[in-house]
Chains A and B, each alone.
Chain A
Amino acid sequence: MTIRYRKERLDRGIKVRTEDIFALSSYKEILYLVLPRALPVLFLLIFPLLKGLVGLYWEKVLIITCITALLALSWDLLASVGLISLGQALFFGAGAYLTGYLNHSFGWPPLVTIPLGTLGGALFCTLFLLPVLRIRGVYFAIVTLTLPLLLVRVIEATKILGGTEGLSGLSRLSENIWVELYIPVLALFLCLFGFRRLINMDYGLVLQGIRDNDLAVMSGAINIHKFKAQAVFIAALAGAFPGAFMTHYYQFVGMPAFALDFSILPLTCAVLGGVGNFAGPLLGAFILVPLSEILRAFGTLRVVFYSAILIVCVVGLPEGIFHYLERKYHQFERLVKVA
C-alpha cells in the first residue's frame, strides 16, 4: 500500500500571536502587522517626491494608476452589493462632462467644479440606474454596459456639450505640480480606507447581506432598494471624481470619457487583484496600469491582453492575486500523511 499525502494549511504562529493585544510584545510582531498596511501608503506618499529620480512620465503614470484604482474600488463596492457593473465609464463620463460643462459655461474654478461635478455626476448616474435596482440578475450589468455607449451617441447626435469635438480650453487644475500629484493619491487613500471601514460596519454587513441573500435581508424589515441606491451613489462618487479630476488635468473633456477603456480596465484590475476587500483592486491597478504603459507599443492588442487576463482569472484564479498573497502571508502549507 502506498503512503498518500494531503496538503494541510495552518495559520503561522506569528499570525495567531498578533491577533490580540500581544502584538505589542515585540518589534517583529508589530512589523508583521504594520508593514503590509504601511508600505503601500508610504510608497504612494513618497513616490511623487521622487520626481527628479523617476521622471515626470512615471509620475503621470502614477496619476493614471490612481484614477484607474479609484474606478476599480468603485466597481468593488458595487460588487459587494451584488451589482455587476460593466460600465464604470458611465460614472467617469458623467463626472467629467458635468465638471467640464460647469467650467466651460460659467467659468467656475476647479475648486468649485470638481466637488460639484463629482456630486452631480454621481446623482445623475444614481437616478439613471434607480429603476434597474429593482430587478435581480444580469440586468444591472446589461444596463450599465449600454448607457455609456448610448450617451456617447446622444452627445454625437444632439451636438450638446461640444458634440464630437468636446469642450476644450478648460482651466488648469493648478500650476503647482504637487497639487496635481497628491490629489489623486489622497483621494485613493480616502476611498480605500473609507470603503474598508464602511464594509466592516453594520451598514456594510447589510450591503453584503443583500448580495448573499436579498430575501433574507428584506425579511429583516430592511428596505433593500434604499440600501442599494445608497451604495450605487457612494460607488458613483468614487467613479465620478476621477472623471472630474481628469477633466481639469487634461483641460479637455470629450467623447473618450465614455470610452470602453474606462470600463474594462478597472474591471480587469478588480478581477486580477481579487474581489471583496478593496485592497485587491488596488493591487490589480498597480500591476496592470504600469504594465500597460510598458506594453504601449502593442496598441489595441493590449485590450485583447486584458480580455485574456479576465478570462484566465475568472476561470483559473477566481480568488485573485491579493487573496493568494494574503493566504501565503498568514498561513503555511505542509504535507500530512493520510491515515
Chain B
Amino acid sequence: MKKMKMILTIAMLFVYGTQMNAQLKGNFEAFNAEKDEMGITGQYFGKSDKKGYGYRFVKEADGKIVNELHYFEKKKSAEPQLKLSMKESYYSKNQVKLFYVWMTSSASGYVELIEVDPGVFAQITQTEYSSNGGPAPLEAKRKVTDVYIKDQAKFDAWDVETAQAKVDLIIASLNTEKIEKETAEWKKNEVFAKNVDKVVFAAQWYHLQKQGYPDKLAVSGADFKTELDMAGNMNFMAFFSVPPSVKYPGQQINIEYEMGGKKTNRETLRKKSAAWSNMVKILETKNFEYRQSPTRAIREYNQYQSQFVQDYAAIQVLYYNKDKLKVGQTYDFTVRVYVHRDGENGAVLAEGTVKLKYTEAAKKVFEGDPTKPEVKGVFAQFEEFLNE
C-alpha cells in the first residue's frame, strides 16, 4: 500500500484535473469475467491515476469462511498486494460493505474501503485510532483519499468529495444505530437506569466513577449519597442518556448551582472579570464524550496537590447563604448541567439535589476555627478573592 500511496501521490500531481475522453484499458480485465455473491470482483480504475486495479471478493479459503477483499495492482502477481477483512456485522445488519486492513498497528497504517455505490469504492484513511483488532471505530474522522470505480460511465458522477459525503452518511447511520444499542445496553445496568439524566453525589470521587473507567459503569452506586457533610469532600457526577459530544457537538457545558433560592452558574461568573475567567474554566461538550461526566467537586481535598480544590461558582452559592447556615441543619443544594452556546443555556442535560449538612466541623471549615485563628475559613478566603 506504501507503493500504491506513492504512485497515487505522483499520479495525482500529473493527472488530476484531466478529463476522461477515452475508454481506459487496464491489466485486470479478466477479473470482470468472475462472479461473486457480493458483486464486487472486477477491474476498478483509480479516480486519481486512472490506472486499473484488480478487486476480488474471497468468501472461503482453506475450508474457512474469510470474507476478504483481495486487492491487486501487479498484473503478474498471483498473490494480492493486500487482503482486507470485511466487518461482517455492518453487512449483515446494514448492508454496508466495509473492508479494512492495518498495515501497521499505528493509525497511519490503516486502510479502509467502503462501497459507496455498486461498483464504486472509497479509499479511506484516519489518523486518530491505533489497531484494536477490528476496523477503526465509528467515531474516527474518516478521510476519503481516492475513489475506485468499476464502470467507467460513473467516473463523472463520483469524485472524492461526493464519496466523502456518502461515507459520512453511511458512518452517521451506523453511528446512530450503535449509540441506540449502547444506550439500551447501559440501561440494563440498574445504577444507570435509575440515574440517567441525573446528577449523583458522593463523598469521594472514586465512589462515583472508577479510575480509568470513564466509558464503563464500574461502581455499584452504594456510595452515592443523598446527604453530604459540608466539612468533607462534596463530589458529583452526571449521567447522560447520550454522550453530549455526540448529541451537542461543538457546544459548551454550563453548570448551575442553587441553594436557598439563590443560584448562579459557571458561565455567568466566568464573564464577570479576568479573575473569574481564570478561576472558572470553559467546559466543552467535546470533553464530555461518555455517558458519565468527568467527576467534579463542589469542594474536595486533592491528595496530589495537598490542598482543597473547589468550584468557585458552587462556593459563590454557599457564600450567598452564609448568614443563614446553622449547625445541625441541612440545606437542599441543586446542581444542573446545561448545554450552552454563545452565552445562552440550552437543554438541561442532568439535574440532582443533595442535602448539605452544616456540622460543627463544617462551621470550622467555612467560618474558621477559633482555636486556629491563623487558618482562614473558606468564606474568608473567598471574600479575599472577591475583593481582588
| A-B complex is real | no
Interface residues of B (CB under 8 A from A): none
